Amino acid sequence: MRLWHPLLCLTLIGLATSAAAQTAAPPAGMNEDAVPAVMQRAVDEVIRPGYRNMQQSAARLTTAMKDLCDGGTQQTLDKAKSAFDDTIRYWSIIEIVQTGPVIQDNLFEHILFYPDRKGVGLKQVQALIAKADPKDATVDAIAGKSVALQGLTALEYVLYGNGSDDLIKQKGGFRCLYGAAVAGNIQREAGEVVAAWEKPDGVQASWKHPGPQSNDFMDNKEAVTALLGILVHGAENVRDQRLEQFYKGKDTTPRPRMAIYWRSKNTWKSMTANIDGLRTLWQKAGMAELLPPDKQAVAASIDEDFKSLLDSVPKLNPDIDAATSDAEKAKLDTLLAESRDLITRISDEYGAAIGLSAGFSFSDGD
């Protein structure tokens, strides 16, 4: 037990330590020497490039949408769809980071509104397109509207939803101009996140240098907890918020229309990119270096889990109706099990091995 305010001790729990120390001891098991390099690589080699890639992709998408509005040809439509798929991929890689600047001012929701459980967002998009008021087809106008009208799922409906044939029937039509405005809005929102992370004395410095001067982390433990949180919550998101949104197991009724990006057949591409983003953080940041020497086997298991998922998810049927049919449900059951294994491996085995209590996800008091 360590007392730092030794007026009267009424509760006794083991773990004897110095009476003078004021800061939390590093978690037992963690190779704390590796923390600065891991945080530096996570920021400079994963998070910042991830957002920059997303912003650049959104810029290409904006250009492609403008070309589509100007040209109105099958070729420009194909290019716009290709650019959209590209942006989905780059966004899905970095959307695993659901902390920091992206969750401020609802930037995340402005880029991605999902799920739309009762179809309220879809109705808003359909109504806006039906109204076809030119004043609604600017980036500024879109930025002031409901989040359901601003982001990737709205643009997916423009490109792939009912009536998308109009995009090549009419040059400069409202539907296309609205889509271009949405793309421009996504680009601008992504730019705000990039600007926040690229500011040298901003969040990147705070993340790379935990301590009293940091706005985010009091010590190394808090910093590593946040990094592990990205992995755990990202893996949980893949399973609980994306897969289980439309498939919860063989004894339940699938809801394929609830799958993210089902119209554009990007469901599994997005999930693959999510998992790829998690693996990139795990490997490029060198998070295995935080493990003590006798726990290195945990890293090999996590590598294997990632590899297995990245082998299987891209092979799933992109038609979600078909993917959730009785004939193919077994593959999704396997995915449910394997994604659960990944969560447990990261949260419990890795978290416990680096001394973050009984497993990371457990220590979220509430």
Binding site for other proteins (CB under 8 A): 1-15, 17, 22, 24-25, 98, 103-106, 115, 117-118, 215-218, 236-237, 240-241, 245, 344, 348, 357-359, 362-366
Tokens 């409901």 belong to 146
Rounded Cα distance between 278 and 281, Å, is 5
CB of 240 to other proteins, least distance (A): 6
Q: In the numeric block, which tokens belong to residue 126?
A: 């359909």
Burial 262-272 (b: 16+ CB within 10 A, else e): bbbebbbbbbb
CA dihedral 262, 82, 155, 60 (to 10 degrees): 150
Between 117 and 169, CB nearer to other proteins:
117
Q: Which is nearer to other proteins, 118 or 135 (CB)?
A: 118
- For other proteins, the closer of residues 178 and 246 by Cβ is 246
In whole angstroms, the minimum distance from the beta carbon of 16 to other proteins comes to: 10
Question: For residues 57 and 237, which CB has a smaller minimum distance to other proteins in the complex?
Answer: 237
Q: State the minimum distance, in angstroms, from the CB of residue 1 to other proteins.
A: 6
Structural tokens at position 334: 């396997």
Residue 225 · residue 360 · CB < 8 Å: yes
CB closer to other proteins out of 317 and 344: 344
Least separation, in Å, of the C-beta of 143 and other proteins? 16
Distance of alpha carbon 96 from alpha carbon 66, whole angstroms: 29
Q: State in angstroms the smallest separation of the CB of 358 from other proteins.
A: 4
DSSP-assigned letter for residue 25: P
Q: Which 8-state DSSP code applies to residue 26?
A: P
